[in-house]
Amino acid sequence: MEKLTGFGPHLMLDLSDCDPERLNDLDLCFELLNGIPDQIGMTKITQPHVFRYSGLVPEDEGITGMVIIAESHISLHTFPQKRYCFVDIFSCKPFEVERAKQRFIEAFGSLSPEVFVTERGRRFPRGAVLPRAAGF
């Protein structure tokens, strides 16, 4: 884990060529979101909310889930028919990015993962309280 210069890291995973049965497994998605905060040094403050989604485009059905952590949030969206999954982990403090990345890639069996890590809030005023703007 490295020192932050902004608000915090944002890990984004675009997982393709996944196992469609795993992507369609509600219990697996819940367990991933339930366990990952402890595994990467975060503080879970809610139980995961995980549900099946089916909308106007039938082939976009899948599972959506989120867990709120003291440091921000972790979310996932699966598309079993397209063998695809999106995962986001945003935090106000460093976390074990490599462990998180590997956990989701392995859990969904992604053969073609794309990994993006960026630091958000580079201009976030850490430790400073700004004067109130007029009218606020």
85 labelled catalytic: no
- From 45-49, 80-84, 93-97, the region with the lowest mean pLDDT: 93-97
Nearest to 30 by CA among 67, 2, 62: 67
Q: Which of 18, 29, 85, 92 is catalytic?
A: 92
pLDDT (0 to 100) of residue 58: 85
Q: Are 17 and 83 in contact (CB under 8 A)?
A: yes
Q: Which of 72, 85, 91, 110 is catalytic?
A: 72
Phi–psi pair at 44, nearest 5 degrees: -75, 130
Which segments of the chain are extended strands (E)? 8-16, 49-53, 62-69, 72-79, 84-91, 112-120
CA angle at residue 84 from 73 to 71, to 5 degrees? 10
User: What is the value of pTM for the model shown?
Assistant: 0.86
Residue type, 97: V
In the chain, where are the structural domains located?
16-120
Q: Which of 77, 85, 91, 110 is catalytic?
A: 77
73 labelled catalytic: no
The per-residue pLDDT for range 44-60, each reduced to its tens digit, is: 999 999 999 998 888 89
Average pLDDT over residues 100-121: 95
Cα–Cα distance, 90 to 79 (Å, whole number): 21
Q: Which CATH superfamily is domain 16-120 in?
A: S-adenosylmethionine decarboxylase (3.60.90.10)
Is the pLDDT confidence value at 1 over 50?
no
Q: List C-alpha distances in Å: 98 to 36, 59, 95.
A: 12, 31, 9
In sequence order, the 6+-apart residues with CB closer than 8 A to the CB of 75 are 64, 65, 66, 67, 87, 88
In sequence order, the 6+-apart residues with CB closer than 8 A to the CB of 129 are none
92 labelled catalytic: yes
